Amino acid sequence: MADKAMALCGAPFCLHGRDEETGLDCIGLAQQCLIAGRFECDVPNGYSIRGGSERSISEFMAETGFERFPPETLLREGDIVLVRPSPVQWHFLIRAGDGFVHAHAGLGKVVHCPGEAPWPIVSIFRPVEE
């Protein structure tokens, strides 16, 4: 999934975007990575850029075949990381290389940010190991 995330760097940002040509938001980015990892998922759409809950996000990720880990867990390549940019906003990052890939609304595109997560990590999601 990390390779797919890196390959999507430069794709335009678009709220509710699900296509790398016309634009992706953080959920669209995660969806593209999930599809590349052969995960079946029907991601939500029509949501506000603000709102939602950690519980509903965790439930969706569990239904998709992911296990939730606490924020202090050592990160692995390809982890889907839930962060909290503000008290009313959630955001997904994909662990890739020496940093994270995410759909950056301010820059208007998908970017790789080296180093630590730019916002507090709330949860880490990984495929359930069988």
Please tell me the predicted confidence (pLDDT) of residue 130. Answer: 53
* pLDDT tens digits, 65-82: 899 999 999 999 999 999
Q: Is the pLDDT of residue 7 over 90?
A: yes
Distance of alpha carbon 93 from its chain centroid, rounded?
4
Per-residue pLDDT band at 14 (split at 50, 70, 90): very high
* Exposure string over 40-68, b if 16+ CB within 10 A, otherwise e: ebebeeeeeeeeeeeeebbebbeebbbeb
pTM flag (> 0.75): yes
pLDDT at 47 over 90: no
Give the up-direction half-sphere exposure of residue 123: CA atoms within 13 A in the CB hemisphere: 19
Helix (H/G/I), strand (E/B), else coil: 83: strand
Q: What is the mean pLDDT of residues 105-129?
A: 94
Parallel, antiparallel, or unpaired: how do β-strands 109-114 and 121-127 relate? unpaired
Distances in whole angstroms, Cα of residue 82 to Cα of each of 22, 60, 71? 24, 13, 9
Q: How large is the average pLDDT for residues 13-18? A: 92
